[in-house]
Structure 1
Amino acid sequence: MSTVQPTGVDADGYVLSVGDGPLQPEFQPLLEDVCLTLSPVELGVDGVYLYGSVARGDASPGISDLDLTLVLREPPDAPLLEHLEQTRLTLEQRHPEVTKIDFDIGHRAQVLAPEHKNRWGFWLKHHCRCVWGNDLAVHFERFRPSRDIALALNGDFAQALATYRTRIEHAATAPERLRLEREASRKLIRATPLLSLAQDASSWPHTLEEHVALFVQRYPAMRIQMAFFLFEARNPSAEREPFLARLDTFVAWMVSEQG
């Protein structure tokens, strides 16, 4: 088997962060609107964090999503979550420069709890950049790659993909189904470090392409399957039944490989 060169780590073996360079000017008005919209006290937002392609600076207007992590001051109740969902939809509707806006939501006590260090601490420290409010990433030291972090981030992959499967199966329209297939493909690809890092925890992939490249070097026989899901993660077009059949097969294989 060929040796995999470490990716996504610095010379000392720490995971690279997304950085804090200038954001792409095409997305500046959107981010200003996001911060202004989420800043009212009644929303209870402690910090707004950007991750994904816009955070890395390689997003494409009209093609990329806007991925946001919201940390709230207190645990949210159902009415607040509904309010935030309506806010998300409103932002999405008035900003065609992104295809979708996602909110991942947590709260301060959850983020700072020691038992969530490998999940929330790692996520904010290395995958996010704070664009408004309190930056809780300063509470954490840098992380080195580990399978424990992969488990903290994606140990729920089988359950999460089973949920996507149900939603795809019952999607009422083709655009809704294709959007869900795209999201499921991304979740599957991002879960692959559960296997690749079990053998070598010297790398940490950031982009979907890095996830696929690292995984295929570990499991070359899965190249065609990974190419399918990478394509669907970028340009979803598969019909429902073929997609679900491939999803079922790949998830079952991953579960068996985990032992």
Structure 2
Amino acid sequence: MAEPAAPARGLDPLGFIEREGSHARVPRVFRPVVAAARDRLLEVFGARLDSAYLYGSVPRGTARVGRSDLDLVAVLREEPTDADRDTARALGEAVDQEFPEIDGVGTLLFSRARVLSEQERYDIGWFVACQCTPLLGADLAEFLPRYRPDSLLARETNGDLARLLPRWRERIAAAGGTEEALRPLVRFMSRHLVRTGFTLVMPRWHGWTSDLREMAEVFAGYYPERGEQLRRAAETGYEPVGDRAVLRSYVDDLGPWLADEYARVHGVKSPRPPGWD
């Protein structure tokens, strides 16, 4: 009797990370939102727009009506300016107000040169090639390599946590004391730490997933003494609470430990040119 096939774990038969998401997986209820965002990206950036992408739960087909946000990437023909970021923010606010099906719109802005640069090949390049679904323009994944879940990818995607923690402390100190003000920070930092914990062990697990709960369980298999912390972070990544104590635990305990262990196992992310942070 033949042995059962090993689980794919997000990899193709050759062991490369498969691209997540597709337009076919976008739930019908979110398709008008996606169409509106696509049209407005083209309207506000015009010929300066090289390409645009969806990522996150909407193209993966796991978005929840009224709870999930819409995640976009706009790649410009030149480096984005502060005015471009203001434009993207205003676009997101307008789409969010028009469509109650979503809870917020976030747009990442990059230049084509940065996405295809040697420095970003295993970070933003990997993100576009494996995590993003083409929405407008040519697909830059055609100019990028295939990716395996190895230590190089782990280091270049999340090997900068130690550098980020001081900024996180500043954001926590500057945040208002209301639950509404703290909840977005809890969601952002929870998700970031879960993904960092997962990529710490990703090469040993030899696979890829974007499900926060699965990420936490995979991590717990290798670091059981920290597993419950990451499981709780996964839950607050999906259902954030406006609790400053949660944030303090991230920057005073889990985050520093994770940064040190990451540097020990994979090393530190290579430096980027000024302005690319």
TM-score, length-normalised on structure 1? 0.89
C-alpha separation in 1, matches of 2:55 and 2:154: 17
Task: Report the alpha carbon displacement of residue 218 of structure 1 after superposing the two structures with TM.
Answer: 1.0
Matched, 1:37 2:78: no
Q: Which residue of 1 aligns with 2:194?
A: 189
The code of the aligned residue for 1:28 comes to R
1:180 to 172, 176, 185: 185
Greater shift after overlay, 85-94 or 120-129? 85-94
**CA 1:196–1:134 in 2, change beyond 3 Å: closer, same or farther?**
same
Q: Which residue of 2 aligns with 1:138?
A: 142
Q: Which residue of 2 aligns with 1:154?
A: 158
Q: Which runs of 4+ in 1 moved over 4 A?
A: none
C-alpha separation in 2, matches of 1:81 and 1:21: 26
C-alpha separation in 2, matches of 1:203 and 1:24: 26
Which structure 1 segments of 5+ residues have no match?
A: none
Q: Which residue of 2 aligns with 1:250?
A: 254
Identity %: 29
C-alpha contact (below 8 Å) 2:92/2:107 kept by paired residues: yes
C-alpha contact (below 8 Å) 1:209/1:230 kept by paired residues: yes
Q: Which residue of 2 aligns with 1:122?
A: 126
The code of the aligned residue for 1:31 comes to V
Which structure 2 segments of 5+ residues have no match?
A: 1-5, 265-277
1:24 to 24, 27, 45: 27
TM-score, length-normalised on structure 2? 0.84
C-alpha separation in 2, matches of 1:157 and 1:72: 27
C-alpha contact (below 8 Å) 2:50/2:76 kept by paired residues: yes
What is the 5 A alignment of 1:1-259? Answer: 7-22=9-24, 23-40=26-43, 42=45, 44-172=48-176, 173-197=178-202, 200=204, 202-237=206-241, 239-257=243-261, 258-259=263-264
C-alpha separation in 2, matches of 1:12 and 1:192: 25
C-alpha contact (below 8 Å) 2:186/2:243 kept by paired residues: no
C-alpha separation in 2, matches of 1:95 and 1:239: 28
What SS does structure 2 have at the residue aligned with 1:47? strand
Greater shift after overlay, 162-171 or 221-230? 162-171
C-alpha separation in 1, matches of 2:44 and 2:175: 36
C-alpha separation in 2, matches of 1:209 and 1:31: 26
C-alpha separation in 2, matches of 1:46 and 1:241: 42
Deviations 1:158-217 (A, max 9, x none): 33344233223322232121111111100111112442136x162222221221121111
The code of the aligned residue for 1:183 comes to F
Task: Report the alpha carbon displacement of residue 65 of structure 1 after superposing the two structures with TM.
Answer: 1.4
